[in-house]
Structure 1
């Protein structure tokens, strides 16, 4: 077979591997695409050493969609929005109610961000700091002599900047205009085989405009509430409530758009956006005019502006309530027909977190959003003064929700590190060490609590020493039992010979660490559980504050006494300071990473990896998250495969996907299959003609390696990439789909190992290279341990360099052969893919 008869299309993973490294050619030739989606071809054909089969190799480099742009890394500070958008695709089926709840929760998170910025600029800096002589002189001296109304106008700049940034980021897209007229989604939830699913959804612009409108309304309502601030000549409450009522009407319009999520062709969302902007200008103008001469010469603290406490508490309570409602919606989905169908699968393919992945991920996003909001407010207060829960004390009055939120993040900052060690030990199946670490964490938690009691100091040190001893014993146990007996026996079976050879322990240790990938979600689930409990606690306090708005002065049943004393206690202050410090540090680190990406390409790639993982899916739960690259990558790869099979008449096109690239390849094949099943429209204009899709599908094969399709994606996104979808593609492709993996790979694993079949050893000459089970090939890593004077030493590759393994070329060659003889079972024999030894 000539090299031009077979083309291997290599697709890299989230690390954005350069095409030069993918092709092993320092000067590849560009053959298609543009400067962000490039197809490059190696100068020399690749050759399978055993059979002599040759092929042309092309690299599809999509890393510039996310990893390639420095400005895109600045999305890091908005990571809660991206995580929430991800939660939408983890639902068990098309749950319209659950999707609506997620969209509402996303709207609340957007309002939290804008409200926290407005709270800091208008309430803390302008009213409480610039409104008093001492604080203004110490921190905001440039405001001397300014009327209070002018200060309010300046205070509007930060929230307006945030709103403008959200609007600008939300409208960004890296997709080209559609190539055909097929735009309507086949189903409301979408599918990988639907071209319209991969294009910009017509619902996303409406959702974006609704978020911008809600943000404008929140700031306007805060200005309207400020009109009720106590002053001798303040306007009648009728004006304030009228402006608030107008804002509620506009907000209801925005909420309706979020809940219904209509198509942009069915609703004029631009009118909503500009109406909200006009409302903000009216509310800000009224507050500025009526509060222009509000006194700013107070010597002590001033009364906070009205409305700010209520708004922040409402948002905290709504976040809690929506998480509870989302949990109920997920319970309904889990017991629906689709949910039952997904949950009865083999335990290796069941959805993560027992089908409640959407709740877990949404709780994580909410925890981060609440922490960012509370941490920002708390840090600003500590910068200009001391946070206090009420106006009767020296310092700046901080909203209850922010005080509680910062304190709860302090609890999270203590509790989560204590949980990491036992959970990680359990993830690698070191039970005794996990028990010791868990005991040490409990004692350490008790020691921390003792610091806030009146017990003698030596009690704390005794508890700390006991915790340290338990951790030390657990660490020793980890080191002594770092290699399990079963794993060690498996390694010895792969590398027969003396058990004490150099390298055996290292290979076994790496295999044990890599096995933790099946339990990565334990750590994420623990953080989400802690965060969810803390968000619920904060929401409960917010609800109590809303039920008794005058708790600071006189609250029924002693609520004011308890809440005020607790918020003023030393534990609450220490936890609040710690939580604020942790959150502020996290935000600063994210900002520094974003700035650093402007100067360092390697850092740009590392940061881009985060977005490659969260920005694959369209923006449907939250419109203000990284522009999705999945659609562009899928469409470009499918178009190239059709072009090669049709226009260039290539006999076999082998899609070759590494890690995240395997997901892109899977989506491209799903899209190609969907186009082959869809008749051409009457006007004949569409993305791919049906005849071309059918012809291309017959000439396409698939090789995946280092893939997360089975252990991660099929379990995290069961509705889109579940076991049934994998099995369907496997049945259609047969021997045209092979997967390659290593036991030392911490990210990749088997994909098609469903039947319980025995491993067949694969030989190359006298050397054992790997094992075959079904259509999965497990490579040994390293390829050999014993020194060989005629061979280059084999490194431990883990998740990288699959192209360099001797079996890889043979796998691609066999897939190409299966494509050339469709639906014919390939008898695996010869050098690399046979259980029969070659040679004497």
Structure 2
């Protein structure tokens, strides 16, 4: 390879774009990598025209990392554990170093894991085994349970223990999966407590993660063991043996909590004995419960003690931890780091006024509580009629009734708020107000129905809501394209504003502008769900504190839970959760057979699996570390070993974040001196030489409007500006106004608009180092040119102006190197 050649390394986004499409070559040549992280090269170089210089050819390679997230069905089934992955994101939304906040998040993750395992145990042991398999009437109604008619209750108990034990084993196995190789070199300790994108150890499996994984597995085993120990009180009413066995769990739980709070290094704390001690405890309690309850009279079997208490404890803990996290976020906003991040320009200010971690954690908890309540409620509806504990029907814990009802409220709230919020997001304020009034009338009609109001009042409210919705939708459609947006389109495409296509382009631009307000929807769901979780946890805490309410809910609460509104909300919530879970399961199974479905699953995975496991160890294997390390290694290899004159990292959408992380890692490696033994990931001289030969082009990027605001400590305004200063004009960003996901970066001073031309009719508008492409490339038909479609978020590679931008970045790299050589040779 000649030193003057330019190599463009293209990194795709979350859709896992095939390398054949990225390169425009149906038969690219693999040049590096393996089966899941591949580098492929196009057969033909791209000719570019960098200003007045002779034409310079550019070799194009594609880094295809989509196989990290678009593999087999087992990977897609990770979607069922979405609450854990969402909670892990909350750790990176913190405003800075907050040991208390991080400890709270890890404890909340532990509670969610125990909640998931407890729900499976509750459904298996309490609902299926105790309330149905041991009852003749239920066996007669559900014939598939008839084969268990002659089984002793202890044998049924052992059978019911198998599903939750299998879940624990699956959690342990999934938590061990990783895409990373063994770390190279000796540097494996995080440079800072919070970690940084430029820290090689940050991108590798942290030695703290196995400790957290062991703690979660141990806690799950201990909680299941406590449920079995509580069941001993059914056979031994004095409770001496039961409390003695529960007492054995106290030191194990204290050990677990200590590991989660302090998060020690695997080399400093060996937690394998904890994991195996907890497993032995589960086997001991399950064996004791089966032995003492072997001949327990059935039809019906007496209630198993402990299930109500454990579910209430978990609900109360989730509530308390959410409140503690909210307080920790408020404290961090007042810290020097928080004040610094909140004082930046509004375009880069952290989302949700700096409470991003609390909002994301509330979303995760809402998902977890809803999944638990929906699963239990759906099983009860399948087996019989759900009722509060102590009332006629199949008894269901109050926490699960509230969990199902929570999602019922969310389903109604989402349906009523969707229209007004969407209208407000696209700037239709008047339509949003009309739709909000209609939603209020619809909500009032639902309340009047539950209050047994006259029928005319209910139907009157629904009729008024329908009329207002019709008016709001008509107004939104009629004023879908504002005059300012239409004028902007005509400025890009001079001519009459009534031409065909102007309205379509203007509407696409207006809809795409909603990306700056996507977080409104998540914030509304988080606030509504968080309030309901706190309310449910408050009731659970009150029941734990009141001795008479522990076994069954108080009469007033039981009456309300048996009322029509509560039953309808629970049924609706159960239906919503069941539909959501079934959708995830279908996606997982279909992804095994369909490439398009794998891509859809991969998009969700890409968004939640980029960051290392720090708050929850049982979430999708993070691909960010492997992708960042491989991309950095390839850039160093091209610049150092192949003598490439300019290496342009070209990142689309999520790929722009991978490129940013790779450059952050390269910058840090160029600063760190080589250790005495010479063993390290990249040598300092290699990294420094590669950094001099590297440029960056991002397009369809979320670095400014999403990542810098959601993860301000890692990708905030200061970090973006720092990379811009380091590259000295070798970072350009490309975007479109019709792109619903990508936008400008704006990490540089704005300048007067100027054109970046690639032909008479092909040009974009440059402001600073942001280049806005016209979409479509031209509006009026041209008999000598192929029609240009609306591309939105995709096909940036097909725009000639994009190639002009890459050529300019490559030329800036070459010119800088030539200037350095001349400076070194001058006396």
Q: Is the 8 A contact 2:632 2:663 kept in 1?
A: yes
Q: Is the 8 A contact 1:47 1:809 kept in 2?
A: no
For residues 71 and 329 of structure 1, the distance between their equivalents in structure 2, rounded to whole angstroms, comes to: 36
1:154 corresponds in structure 2 to 159
For the residue of structure 1 that corresponds to 2:97, the secondary structure is coil
Q: Give the C-alpha shift of residue 553 in structure 1.
A: 8.5
> Could you tell me which of 531, 534, 537 is aligned with 1:536?
534
- Aligned 8 A contact 2:648 2:696 in 1: yes
Q: Report SS of the residue matched to 2:309.
A: helix
For 1:27 and 1:553, locate their aligned partners in 2 and report how far apart those are by CA, in whole Å: 68
Instruction: Say which is worse superposed, 16-25 or 762-771, in terms of deviation.
Output: 762-771
> Alignment partner of 2:348: what SS?
coil
Q: Which residue of 1 aligns with 2:87?
A: 84
> Secondary structure of 1:771's partner?
strand
Look up the match of 1:326. 325
Equivalence for 1:340: 339
1:368-447 equivalent positions in 2, closer than 5 A: 368-391=367-390, 393-447=391-445
* RMSD, matched Cα: 1.6
* Deviation for aligned residue 1:552: 8.1
**Deviation digits for residues 525-573 of structure 1 (CA, Å, limit 9, x no counterpart):** 011111101101111111122122423889xxxx823112111111111
Match of 2:197 in 1: 192
Task: Spell out, residue by residue over 1:582-638, the C-alpha distance to the aligned partner (whole angstroms, 9 max, x if none).
Answer: 111111111111111111111011101101011000001000000000000000000
Question: d(CA) in 2 for partners of 1:770 and 1:247?
Answer: 66
Instruction: Please state how far the C-alpha of 1:328 moved relative to its aligned partner.
Output: 0.4
Which segment is superposed worse, 207-216 or 780-789?
780-789
Cα deviation code 1:107-139 (max 9, x no counterpart): 000000000000011111111112222113322
Alpha-carbon distance in 1 for matches of 2:460, 2:546: 43
Tell me by how many angstroms 1:761 deviates. 2.7
* Structure 2 residue 629 is matched with structure 1 residue 635: yes
Matches within 5 A, 1:364-763: 364-391=363-390, 393-551=391-549, 560-752=554-746, 754-763=748-757
Deviations, residues 217-247 of structure 1 (Å, cap 9, x unaligned): 0000000000112x5xx26411100111111
The secondary structure found in structure 1 opposite 2:787 is coil
1:664-715 Cα offsets, whole Å, 9 max, x none, are 0000000000000101111100000101101111000001111111111011
Shift of 1:14: 0.5
Rounded Cα–Cα distance in structure 1 between residues aligned with 2:554 and 2:128: 26
Q: 1:824 to 1:340 in 2, by over 3 A?
A: farther
| Counterpart Cα distance in 2 of 1:768 and 1:817 | 21
Contact preservation (8 Å) 1:70, 1:597? yes
Question: Is contact 2:746–2:770 with CA below 8 Å preserved after alignment?
Answer: yes
The reply to whether residue 100 of structure 1 matches residue 89 of structure 2 is no
- In 2, Cα distance between the equivalents of 1:531 and 1:722? 28
Match of 1:214 in 2: 219
Unaligned runs of 5+ in 2: 821-827
The alpha-carbon deviation at position 303 of structure 1 amounts to: 3.6
Contact (CA 8 Å) 2:138, 2:383: kept in 1 or not?
yes
In structure 2, the CA distance between the partners of 1:825 and 1:799, relative to structure 1 (3 Å rule), is farther
1:249 aligns with 2:251: yes
Give the Cα–Cα distance (whole angstroms) in 1 for the partners of residues 453 and 373 of structure 2: 32
Q: 1:134 aligns with which of 134, 137, 141?
A: 137
Alpha-carbon shift at residue 753 of structure 1 (Å): 5.4
Q: Give the TM-score taking structure 2 as reference length.
A: 0.97
- For 1:831, the equivalent position in structure 2 comes to none
2:579 and 2:653 mapped to 1: Cα distance? Answer: 32
Shift, 1:68, TM fit:
3.3
Change (3 A) 1:729 1:269: same
| Between 649-658 and 62-71, the greater mean CA deviation after superposition | 62-71
* Structure 2 equivalent of residue 201 of structure 1: 206
Equivalent in the alignment of 1:21: 21
Bigger drift between 93-102 and 561-570 goes to 561-570
Q: 1:2 to 1:266 in 2, by over 3 A?
A: closer
Cross-structure match for 2:778: 784
For the structure 1 residues 203 and 484, does the alpha-carbon distance in structure 2 shift closer, same or farther, using more than 3 Å as the test?
same
**Aligned with residue 114 of structure 2, among 107, 111, 115:** 111
Partner SS, residue 227 of structure 1: helix
Matched-pair contact (CA < 8 Å) for 2:226–2:249: yes
Q: Is the 8 A contact 1:2 1:54 kept in 2?
A: no
Deviation at 1:69, TM superposition (A): 3.5
Does the residue aligned with 2:548 lie in a helix, a strand or coil? coil
Is there any run of 5+ residues in structure 1 with no aligned partner, and where?
827-840
Displaced runs of 4+ in structure 1, greater than 4 A? 1-4, 823-826
1:830 is aligned to: none
SS for the counterpart of 2:554 is helix
